[in-house]
């Protein structure tokens, strides 16, 4: 049977338990039509790049699926009718990744590092790829004042 990776986004105002119920519902659809769901990863609530149906954040969930195309089509059809599901995407893959996905690896790396670096009040110093901007601004202002004086 073909292998698929399926990611769906659920509204931010549904609870984590309701997202799990959605996953169980769609697992049932897949199993009913002769497929199986392997790994399920909940990536948590993440901000969206743009608003979707007035939502700024969404629950992200990944499902590794081993099922015939008909099962995938039926699951996607049911997702279209569910107002809690904002978007979904199914991709056919040659094989499923072993271990955590790239999104979960990123979260682990961020946890080890202590989150985003904060420079606070410390100055990082001048950027080496840019010239001296103050000198350039002074030259530009001088030329403008010469042009106005004439």
Domain contains 130: no
Confidence of residue 135 (pLDDT cuts 50, 70, 90): confident
Domain contains 29: yes
Domain contains 145: no
**Domain count of the chain?**
1
* Domain encompassing residue 99: 3-113
17 — phi, psi (to 5°)? -65, -40
Domain contains 126: no
pLDDT per residue as tens digits for the range 69-109:
999 999 999 999 999 999 999 999 888 878 777 777 766 66
Domain contains 143: no
pLDDT per residue as tens digits for the range 16-45:
999 999 999 999 999 999 999 998 999 889
Domain contains 55: yes
Which CATH number characterizes residue 102's domain? 3.30.70.60
Give the bridge partners for 60, in sequence order.
9, 44
Domain contains 69: yes
| Pair 62, 10: CB distance under 8 Å | no
Q: Identify which has the larger pLDDT, 131 or 13.
A: 13
- What is the average pLDDT across 102-121? 63
> Sign (positive/negative) of CA torsion 130, 133, 139, 141?
positive
Average predicted confidence (pLDDT) for the chain = 83
Domain contains 8: yes
Chain centre distance of CA 69: 25
Residue 59 has pLDDT above 60, yes or no: yes
């Amino acid at each position: 049977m073909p292998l698929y990776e399926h990611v769906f986004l659920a509204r931010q105002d549904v609870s984590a338990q309701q997202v799990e119920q959605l996953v169980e519902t769609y697992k049932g659809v897949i199993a009913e039509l002769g497929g199986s769901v392997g790994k399920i990863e909940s990536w948590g609530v993440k901000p969206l790049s743009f608003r979707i149906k007035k939502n700024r954040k969404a629950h992200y969930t990944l499902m590794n699926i081993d099922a015939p195309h008909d099962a995938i089509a039926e699951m996607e059809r049911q997702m279209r009718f569910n107002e809690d599901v904002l978007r979904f995407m199914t991709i056919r893959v040659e094989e499923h990744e072993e271990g955590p996905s790239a999104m979960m690896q990123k979260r682990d790396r961020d946890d080890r590092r202590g989150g985003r670096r904060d420079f606070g009040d410390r100055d990082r110093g001048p950027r080496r790829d840019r010239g001296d901007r103050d000198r350039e601004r002074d030259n530009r202002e001088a030329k403008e004042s010469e042009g106005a004086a004439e």
